Amino acid sequence: MYTTGTNNTGHCLLKLFSNILIPVGLDLNNPLTIENAIQIANEYQCDVHLLYILPQHQYHIFGTVATPDILQDATLKMNALSTSYTAYLNRELSLHTSIQSGDRFTIVKDYVISHYIDLVLLTGNSSLFSGEQWYINRLIKQTGCAVLTANGHFLIDNIRNIILPVDNYIPAKKITVAASLARKYNAIIHLVQNKKKWLASGNTQDYAKKAYRLLRNSSLDHIHYVETTDNDNTQDVLTYARHVQADIIITNPDAPGSRWRSLLCNLFKKETSISTLTLAPYQ
């Protein structure tokens, strides 16, 4: 296990995100998602977008809203959300609202592309994609945006332990995001590598140690290097994550040669207390 020296808290946060999208429910049962968005927006100087997609039984097959009352009710509630949370944003930032009807995946994807969204926030029990991680991976790969799925009582300023899996390439964006979060919140980064898989690959490049050196050069306080030996690299990581009481795992969907998609699926099914930040492949 490797550890670094002292932390340089004078570093400024990099501008990792510019526009945050939160697909919201009008029952207001997940205010923590919006609170996280406001916190991230103020830290990274981002605009916030609230998107409500009318349930499928509330619009016709051709996308026309069934009754004016439904749209009026949705509009009133979205205006109330906007009024409630705009006051918490820094003055120079904006909060936008939108109500749309149609296929949920298509609406979210088109909104992400047309509004230059680079971070989507979901809750672990979100019904946006019926709990299917496959849809989230598909959204990330088709748009390049990141998705933060906040589970349990996650708040970004409470991050203390970050899990950073490393496979057979340098995860530059993952390292940048992890370093920024760790520096801001004085968190520990746990670099996790499947040693058995790396040895079996015959690859002479030890990307985990390269990632460690990059983080070390960023003058971070705590970096732990962890080797796992499980054949599919899933159970060992979950056990370790529980052991260190991990707050968040930063990962990629379907990275080349990666086992992390099965890890993500297990997280969504079993590890409801651990949040995940999923970045686009090769980032």
Strands 146-150 and 119-123 come out as parallel
Q: What is the mean pLDDT of residues 173-195?
A: 87
Burial of 42 (0-12, 13-18, 19+ CB in 10 A): middle
Question: Where does the pLDDT of residue 206 fall: very low under 50, low under 70, confident under 90, or very high at 90 and above?
Answer: confident
State the residue for tokens 């040669």: 257
Question: Where does the pLDDT of residue 8 fall: very low under 50, low under 70, confident under 90, or very high at 90 and above?
Answer: very low
Contacts of 210 (CB under 8 A, 6+ apart): 170
- Is the Cβ–Cβ distance between 94 and 48 less than 8 Å? yes
Q: What is the pLDDT of residue 231?
A: 61
Q: What is the pLDDT of residue 212?
A: 82
In tens, the pLDDT along 97-127 reads 999 888 888 999 999 999 999 999 987 655 5
Of the candidate ranges 90-99, 191-200, 209-218, 220-229, the one whose mean pLDDT is the lowest: 191-200
Q: What is the mean pLDDT of the chain?
A: 76
- Its pTM stands at 0.81
Q: What is the pLDDT of residue 129?
A: 57
Question: Where does the pLDDT of residue 248 fall: very low under 50, low under 70, confident under 90, or very high at 90 and above?
Answer: very high
Answer with the residue of higher pLDDT: 202 or 70: 70
Sign of CA dihedral 59, 65, 67, 72: positive
State the residue for tokens 């989507």: 120
Q: What is the pLDDT of residue 152?
A: 65
226's tokens: 């962890």
Using the predicted structure, report yes or no on whether residue 189 has a pLDDT greater than 90. yes
Around Cβ 87, how many Cβ atoms within 10 Å?
8
Residue 275 DSSP SS3? strand
Using the predicted structure, report yes or no on whether residue 172 has a pLDDT greater than 70. yes
Q: For residues 43 and 138, what is the distance between their CA atoms, to the nearest angstrom?
A: 28
